[in-house]
Amino acid sequence: MNLQKRKIGIIGAGHVGSHAGYSLISQGLAEEIVYIDIDEKKAAAQALDLSDALKYLPSRAKVHAGDYTEIADAQLLITAAGPLPDISKGQTRMDTLRQTIVIMKEVTESIRMSGFAGIIINISNPADVITHYIQHQLNWPPRRILSTGTTLDSARLCRALAEATGVDQKSIHAYALGEHGESQMVAWSAVTLGGKALAQLQKERPDSYGMLDLDAIAGEGKAGGWKILGGKGSTEFGIAASIAEVVRAIFHDENRILPVSVLLEGQYGQQDVYASVPAVLNQDGIADIIELKLSPEEEEKFSASCKTMSENYRLALTL
């Protein structure tokens, strides 16, 4: 009997990497996780802490610290290395680009030498630009390299919509698109509540849905990460749950549609830029890209977001 073990490498044992690992083992999505971090002592401690939790979790897994020689047989690799923005200095995710590129130069070369041949999910910021940089450095098929992108931003948007409407967020379908960052935009024309278009609800119920301040709701969704970062110094649970959803879609071969950052090669009128759009995920990675019919105003905002990421990607290649 040949039972394939679902093995995941996580590069970066900080807040995000550790919580990602916990989400994966608590939901039974991996049988083995290996942590790789320049701080070997911290990686070992995180692995030991997670291993202790396994006694009371419904599934078993092996969690340990290691190095790049141990990921050759892994199916997935999560990159979660790099600094957080310093909000005391007014930094955005994009402002961490130079520091993260220095780290990613070494990381991508180590991946190349490791023999790893699976799917890479990047959550290092600025996520879209770094994902594009990883794909460029490795020169792998873009379907195998993606970022969680606005999976988390879309969840924050749905939370803000739920608070504004009173409808549970699980019944709301809404996408933040473009950058996992300041230039992201909302595809309001594609937002539905219980399967009904928000735009139609606004026409039918002007005294309730028609009174929604969509700009304020979009702003609340975008500001969610900054509120968390300012309040406790890091974001953890939301991104961990988001990456678990992406991993589940891949490992379970679900053909599930999630807003992840993928390489656009003509879709949405964009070329050679990683941006978050609805994409079909299965065991091969990105199986398809769904093109929403955006309004002219939404197309303009999406294009502006892609321009921001393209410019910073070109900068990254010079660093």
Place of tokens 């849905």: 209
- The C-alpha atoms of residue 94 and residue 112 are separated, in whole angstroms, by 25
180 as an active site residue: the answer is yes
Neighbours of 201 (CB within 10 A): 20
CA torsion sign for 115, 120, 125, 129 is positive
Residue of 15, 19, 132, 180 marked active site: 180
| Total count of residues recorded for the chain | 319
CA dihedral 136, 119, 247, 229 (to 10 degrees): -30
- The C-alpha atoms of residue 17 and residue 213 are separated, in whole angstroms, by 35
Phi, psi of 262 (to 5 degrees): -130, 165
Report the first-to-last Cα separation within the chain, whole angstroms.
Answer: 49
151-165 and 237-251 are packed helices; what angle lies between their axes, rounded to 10 degrees?
120
Pairing of strands 196-197, 192-193: antiparallel
Note whether 108 and 145 are within 8 A (CB): no
Q: What residue type is assigned to position 159 of the chain?
A: R
Note whether 304 and 311 are within 8 A (CB): no
- The C-alpha atoms of residue 297 and residue 299 are separated, in whole angstroms, by 5
Q: List the catalytic residues.
A: 180
